[in-house]
Amino acid sequence: MKNGASADLRVILRIDFPHAERLGRGKMMLLERIRETGSISAAGRSMDMSYRRAWLLVDAMNRMFSSPVVESQRGGKQGGGAAVTPFGEELLARFRGMEEKARAALSRDLDWLDANRSKDVSDEGV
């Protein structure tokens, strides 16, 4: 992107798997928050998401792959918790890398879109 002209245009990567499973930025953000907080519950709260919703997303990711993405420990003396597995870390790194490659590959097209879009349209979603 030249001079950040199309910095407000975004490429959003989502990978659709068979059987309606999806991998996208929301699940990746949840993984990052689990890494930061050590907790599915805290990660969900930080995203204004219920524990149940966060747990269902983690469960879906764990079922999508042959290796677990997140491992959790039930409460007790240690208070429970969750950790992104080495496979989950690799998944996160590869997904973020794919996003960057997509942005780089499309930067000239984004610049063109930005140069040719109507500046009169409000930035509110349509």
In a domain, residue 9? The reply is: no
In a domain, residue 78? The reply is: yes
Tokens of 110: 């984004």
Q: What is the pLDDT of residues 43-94, one digit of tens each?
A: 999 999 999 999 999 999 999 999 999 998 876 555 679 999 999 999 999 9
Structural domain of 65: 14-115
User: 49-72: buried (b, 16+ CB within 10 Å) or exposed (e) per residue?
Assistant: beeeebbebbeebbebeeebbbeb
For residue 55, the domain's CATH number is 1.10.10.10
The whole model's pTM is what? 0.82
Q: How many domains does the chain have?
A: 1
